[in-house]
Structure 1
Amino acid sequence: MAFGPEMIRAWSKEISSKLEGKRCTGVESGTDWTVLNFGPEESLFFSLHHKHYGCCGIKRIEHEYLRKTAWKKPRFGEMLKKYVSGARLSSAVQVASDRILKLSFDKAIGAGFRQRTHIIFEFMAHRSNLLLTDESDRILEVLRPIHPESQNIRTVVPGALYTPPSPVSGKGLIDFVNNPFFDQPVAGLGKDLFEVLKKAAEIYPPETINKSVTAFLDSGKTSVMRFQWIRKTLTLFPFILPGGVPAEGRDALEASRSAVIIPLIEEETVKLKKDLLAMLERKLKGIRTREKGLETQKKKAEEAEYYKRLGKLLLAWQHSIPPKALEVELTDWEKDPPEVVKIKLDPGLSPVDNAQTFFREAKKREIPLRPIDTKLRSLEKQAESLRGMISEVKNMDNLQDLYDFAEDTGLTGQAPKKRTDKKPPFLRFELEGAMVLVGKNERGNRHVTFDLAKGSDFWLHAKDVPGSHVILRRLDGKDTAFSPDDGRLLFAASLAAYYSKYRGAAKVLVDYTERKHVTPMKGSTAGATYNHGRSIIVSPLLWKEVYGDTH
C-alpha cells in the first residue's frame, strides 16, 4: 500500500482540526510504530513499517494487540514519552509538500517557561523515519540514523540540524491551479494521482479539473473528499476518478486504516501464528526423537530377555547338546504351547560357556522395561496434546486469541500465565430461541462442556478430528429435542465443523449427542468420550450465511 503527498496534507489538516490544543496523555512505541493518545477516545497510530507505513486512527483493541506483540521496547519510545507525554499539540503541518508530517508540541516546564518539541514522520516506504527535534529543529533522537560516512546527501543523527530529504521537483499546487497543464510533475500530488488526473484532463473540460483541484487545495474538510484506490495507492479527490475504486472511511484518518493498521494487524497475526506452529512442531519433533530413543532402549531390553532365554535353555539342555555343535534346536517347555528354539553356538565353547556368552550379552542390554513403557505412554499423551494444540492454532484467525494461547502455554518465552481471574475463552450465539456456545481452546472446551452445559443440552464435535466443543441449548422453554433438519442444529454443527481441522472442507461429518452422554477423559484437559451419538453432514460456512461473520 502507498500514499501520495496529498494524503499527508489531508492528515495534517484533520489532526489540526481535531486535536490542536489537546494534551497528549500517553505515548507508546514498538519497533516501527508509535501511538499518541489524546484522552481515552482519541488515538493516532503512526507506522514506519516498510509496507504498511502511514498514519491513521486506531481502536483500543488494536492498540492492545500491538502492545502485547511488541517484544522489544525501543529507546526512542522513552524519549518520546519524556518530551511529548503531557504536552499540548500546537500544530500539525506537511513539510515541503512532501510525504513528511510534522507535529509540534508545547510543554510547561515550570515558572512560566514552555518547551517546544517536534515529532517528524517521514513516510517513505523502506526509507521511512521518525525524528524528535527541539524548537530549533536540532535532532534530539532519531529512530533510524543516517551517518555522514554513508555517503548520503544528508546527515540524520542526534545533535545535527534536521534537513528534509531532497525536495520534490515540479510546480507547486497553487501554480498548478493557476496553470492546470500537465507538462511537469506537481509537488503535493503523488505520481499515481497525477497520472490519473492527466488522463482525466482528456475526458473532462479544463474548468472541471481546475475547479476540482481548487476545491482540493482550499478544502479544510477532508470529509468532502472522495477517498479512493488508484492501483495500490490510497488517495483523495472531490470525485471518483477514472479507474479509481472507492475506499471506506469518512475522513483521511479513517480511510487510511485499511492501508495501515488493518493489514499490519493481519500480518502480525500471520507471523505469530506461523511462529507458534513452528514452536509446537519443534516440540512435537523433540518428543518423536525421545520416543525413538526409548523405542531403541525398549528393543535392547527385549533383546536382553531373549538372550537370557537362550542362556537358560542351554543350561537346561546342556547334557543333551553334542560337543562342537554349530546349531541346536531346543524345546522351551515354559511356553504355552511349548516352542522349539533354534540357537547358533560357538563350537569351540562348551554349552555352559555358550550360555554365559548369552548372559553377558543380556547384561549389556539389561534395562527395566516398565519405566520405558511408562515414559512412552507419557510422551504419547504429550504428543497427542501437542497435535491438538497445533490443530487449535491452525483454526485461530484472531491476534488476541493467538497471543492468549501463547501466554497460557508459555510459548512467549515466559512462564505460563495464570488466568484465575479470567474465564476460559468461548463464543456465544443466540438465534430463534436457542443459544450456542463454542469453546475456543482446550480450557474453553472444558468450560462450555463440563461447567456451563446442562445434561439435556446438545453437544457437538467434528467427527474423529481435533476441534471445538459446541453446546446447543433451547431458550424457548420447550422440552422437545432438536430434529436433524432443525436450522439451529445445522447452525451449531456448522460451527463445530468450522472450528475444527476440517474448516477448509466443503462438507464435514459432525457427531452430536446429549451432554449427559459425554464424560471427561482422564489425564486430558478437554478430551471427552461420548455415546448415543448421531451424525450430520454440514458445510463449515453455513453459520456465516445465517449469522454473518461477526465473531
Structure 2
Amino acid sequence: MALDGIVIACMAKEMKERITGGRITKIAQPEADALMLTIKNQKDTWKLFLSAGASLPLVYFTEQNKQSPMTAPNFCMLLRKHIGGGRILSVTQPGLERILELEIEHLDEMGDLCRKRLVAEFMGKHSNLIFCDSSDTIIDSIKHIPLSVSSVREVLPGRPYFIPDTMKKENPLSLSEESFFSGAAAKPMPISKALYTGYTGLSPVMAEEICYAASLDSSRPINTLSSLELTHLFGIFRAFMEDVKSGRFTPCIAYDGRLPVEFSALPLTHLAAYEQKTFDSISEVLESYYASRETVTRIRQKSVDLRRIVQTALERNRKKYDLQLRQLKDTEKRDKFRIYGELINTYGYELESGAKVLEALNYYSGETVKIPLDDTMTPQENAKRYFDRYGKLKRTFEALTELTKETKEEIDYLESVSSALDIARTEEDLTQIKEELRESGYIRKRGPKDKKAKITSIPLHYLSSDGYHIYVGKNNLQNEELTFHFASGSDWWFHAKGIPGSHVIVKAEGKAREELPDRLYEEAARLAAYYSKGRENDKVEIDYVEKKQVKKVSGAKPGFVIYHTNYSMIADPDISGLTEVK
C-alpha cells in the first residue's frame, strides 16, 4: 500500500517528538527527487529521509547513509543557503492530508530571524518537496510543475503555494454524524469505497479495517444500510479517528511468510490470515517494509532472463511431452495387429480367393472378431502385413516409452529450477542457479578465457523449537550438497511428495527416531512444504526418511534422488513462528 494520511499522521507525531527544536546540521540530495536532512536535537542526531519519487514517495528516519553526488544539485544548494543551521519550530499535517510541513527559523543575510517552510507532499506521481517563504510563496521545488503539465496548480518559483482540492473529500478528523449521514452514507457504492473516496487520507486497506471492526461486509452498498447499522459504522469510524487525533498508533507489518504484504499505523485485524509484527516506530515499519519489497523486486528483475530461459524450455518440453503421449496412445492397438496376424495364420486356410474379411474366434478373449483383408493378397501376405504393423508399433512404443520418460524428467528438472527461482533471495542464489543451467546446457558455456562464477550462496538455516538445526536447499546444487556431502546417514531427509521442492535436512545428532520430538518432524515438514511448488496449497504431503536411505540416480540431474521405505505426513506450508538463523 502507499502512504495514507494515517501513516503520515503517525510520522508527524514521531517527527514532532524527535526533531522539534532541533537544528539542521546537514542537507544532502542523494537522489534527483529525495533529500536527507541531518538534525541535531540536544544529545540526539537524526537523519530524516524525504523522497518525492513518483513510484515510491517516502519519509522516515534512518541510520543508513545514502551516497550523494559529488556536486550538489541546485535545490540542495538553495536549501543549504537558506535553512542550513536553521531550527525546526514545528512539524504539522494539514487535516489528514498526505502532507508534512516543517516550519524552520533561520537568520537571513542581514542577521535577522525569519521563517521558511519545507512542504513534503506524498501523493504518488504528484509527490513533491516544496520550499516556501513566510507568505506561502514558492521559492523553489525539487520538481517544477508548469501549467502545461498541470492545469490545477503551478509549482514554480514565485507562484503562491496552496493545496489543491480536486477530490472534494471531507476531513475525517472533523467528522460529524450529520455530514456522515448526508455525505458518504448516501452514496450508491460499496461501504469501503464510500469511505476512502469520501474522506481525506483513508486508504482502501484502512477502509476495509473499519468495515471489519464494524462487522459489516465491505462490498455491501452503503446506502442499503439501516439507520442502526449506519450509526454503528459512524461510531467505529469516529473511534478510529479519535485514535489518530490522540496519537494512539500501533505501527505494524503483515507478512506472508517472509514477504511483507501490508503496513499500517493502526492494527490490521482483518488480515488475520497473515503474521503481523508490531514496531516501536513508523520509521522502522517504512524502512523495513520497503527494504524487503525492494529486495524482492530487485531479485525478481534480475531473474527475468533466467525465468525466460526456463519458461521457454518448459513450454517446448511440455509440447513435446504431449505429442509423445498422443503417439504413445496410438501404439496401444499394436497387440490387436499381432492377434490378427496369428488368427489369419490359424484360420486362413478356410478363406476363399478374393475374400475381404475373415470372421474368426479370438482364442485369447473367446469373442468372434472380423479381420479386414486386402483381397489382392494371399492369407500369408495379409498375416505378414499385420505382423509388420505390430512390429513397427512395438518399436515405436519402446522408443517412445524411453523418450517420454526422459522428457518428463526434463520437465521435472526445469520445474525444480523454476521453484528455486521463486525462493531465491540474493544475487548469489541467482548466480548459482545460472551456473546450474549452464552445466545443464540451457545457457551457452563460457569461452576458455572466462572464469567460473564464484559461488557464495549457502542453504537456509533454521532452529527448531527444541533446538535442533534444520537446513533447506535453495536450488538443486545446494540440495545435492546438503544431502550427499553435508548430511550424515542418521540425519533425517524431508521432501514434498511428487512435486519440485527443496531438500530439508534435520541434524539428528546421532539420536534414534524415537528419541526425537514429534514437533521437530512437524516443523521440518512445514519447511519442506513451504519451500516447494505446493506452497500455495492448504496441505502438502511430505515424505521423510533417514538420509542413508536416499540414493542418487546415476546420470540424473543435480538434486534428483530415489528412496524407499519412507514415512509420510501431511503438512501445512506455514513457517510463521520458525526461527531462521542468519
TM-score band, normalised by shorter chain: 0.5 to 0.7
Q: Separation in 2 of the partners of 1:276 and 1:240? A: 46
Report if aligned partners of 1:96, 1:167 keep a CA contact under 8 Å in 2: no
Count of residue pairs brought into register by the alignment: 438
Q: Does 1:514 align with 2:513?
A: no
Which residue matches 2:408?
A: 380
Which residue matches 1:427?
A: 461
Q: 1:196 aligns with which of 154, 173, 183?
A: 173
Q: 1:524 aligns with which of 557, 568, 575?
A: 557
Q: 2:251 aligns with which of 224, 231, 247?
A: 247
Report if aligned partners of 2:344, 2:380 keep a CA contact under 8 Å in 1: no
Q: 1:168 aligns with which of 153, 158, 163?
A: 163
Return the letter of the residue paired with 2:405: R
Report if aligned partners of 1:461, 1:512 keep a CA contact under 8 Å in 2: yes
For residue 352 of structure 2, give the secondary structure of its aligned residue in structure 1: coil
Which residue matches 1:459?
A: 493
1:455-486 Cα distance to aligned partner (Å, 9 max, x none) = 232323345554332222256xx766552545
Q: 1:46 aligns with which of 35, 51, 54?
A: 51
Runs of at least 5 residues in structure 2 that lack an aligned partner in the other structure: 39-45, 84-90, 103-117, 131-137, 177-199, 207-240, 253-278, 447-451
Q: 1:245 to 1:239 in 2, by over 3 A?
A: closer
Q: Separation in 2 of the partners of 1:355 and 1:164? A: 99
| TM-score (norm: length of structure 1) | 0.54
Q: 1:499 aligns with which of 524, 531, 543?
A: 531
Report if aligned partners of 2:490, 2:547 keep a CA contact under 8 Å in 1: yes
Q: Separation in 2 of the partners of 1:169 and 1:126? A: 15
Q: Separation in 2 of the partners of 1:305 and 1:10? A: 81
For residue 21 of structure 1, give the secondary structure of its aligned residue in structure 2: strand
Report if aligned partners of 2:128, 2:143 keep a CA contact under 8 Å in 1: no
Q: Note the C-alpha offset of 1:415.
A: 7.2
Return the letter of the residue paired with 2:53: L
For residue 480 of structure 2, give the secondary structure of its aligned residue in structure 1: helix
Aligned-residue CA RMSD in angstroms? 6.6
1:56-100 Cα distance to aligned partner (Å, 9 max, x none) = 357989x9xxxxxxxxxxxxx9xx958549998774889998948
Which residue matches 2:318?
A: 288
Within 5 A, what are the aligned runs for 1:110-259? 123-128=122-127, 148=148, 152=151, 167-168=162-163, 195-196=172-173, 231-232=202-203, 241=245, 244-247=248-251, 253-254=283-284, 256-257=286-287
Q: Note the C-alpha offset of 1:380.
A: 0.8
For residue 323 of structure 1, give the secondary structure of its aligned residue in structure 2: coil
Q: 1:314 to 1:527 in 2, by over 3 A?
A: same
Q: Separation in 2 of the partners of 1:239 and 1:304? A: 78
Q: Note the C-alpha offset of 1:238.
A: 13
Report if aligned partners of 2:502, 2:528 keep a CA contact under 8 Å in 1: yes
Q: Separation in 2 of the partners of 1:446 and 1:492? A: 18
Q: Note the C-alpha offset of 1:247.
A: 2.6
Q: Separation in 2 of the partners of 1:81 and 1:495? A: 44
Return the letter of the residue paired with 1:167: F
1:375-407 Cα distance to aligned partner (Å, 9 max, x none) = 42321112222443455566x495879867875
For residue 26 of structure 2, give the secondary structure of its aligned residue in structure 1: coil
Q: 1:426 to 1:273 in 2, by over 3 A?
A: same
For residue 245 of structure 1, give the secondary structure of its aligned residue in structure 2: coil
Within 5 A, what are the aligned runs for 1:389-428? 389=417, 396=423, 419-428=453-462
| TM-score (norm: length of structure 2) | 0.51
Q: Separation in 2 of the partners of 1:517 and 1:254? A: 47
Return the letter of the residue paired with 2:563: Y
Q: Note the C-alpha offset of 1:515.
A: 2.0
Report if aligned partners of 1:14, 1:252 keep a CA contact under 8 Å in 2: no
Return the letter of the residue paired with 2:558: T
Which structure carries more relative contact order (alpha carbon 8 Å, separation 6+)?
1
Q: Separation in 2 of the partners of 1:163 and 1:356? A: 101
Q: Separation in 2 of the partners of 1:367 and 1:34? A: 72
Q: Separation in 2 of the partners of 1:283 and 1:259? A: 35
Q: 1:451 to 1:465 in 2, by over 3 A?
A: same
Which residue matches 1:344?
A: 372
1:492-523 Cα distance to aligned partner (Å, 9 max, x none) = 34433443455577776644433222212331
Q: 1:165 to 1:125 in 2, by over 3 A?
A: farther
1:289-333 Cα distance to aligned partner (Å, 9 max, x none) = 22232344556788899889989998999987533322135899x
Return the letter of the residue paired with 1:468: S
Q: 1:461 to 1:371 in 2, by over 3 A?
A: closer
Q: Separation in 2 of the partners of 1:352 and 1:56? A: 92
Report if aligned partners of 1:291, 1:379 keep a CA contact under 8 Å in 2: yes
1:390-432 Cα distance to aligned partner (Å, 9 max, x none) = 55566x4958798678756779x98799654224433242765
Report if aligned partners of 1:330, 1:342 keep a CA contact under 8 Å in 2: yes
Q: Does 1:326 align with 2:327?
A: no
Which residue matches 1:74?
A: none
Q: 1:101 to 1:287 in 2, by over 3 A?
A: farther
Q: Separation in 1 of the partners of 2:466 and 2:154? A: 67
Runs of at least 5 residues in structure 1 that lack an aligned partner in the other structure: 64-76, 103-118, 171-189, 200-228
Q: Separation in 1 of the partners of 2:58 and 2:405? A: 53
Aligned residues with identical type, % of pairs: 19
Which residue matches 2:515?
A: 483
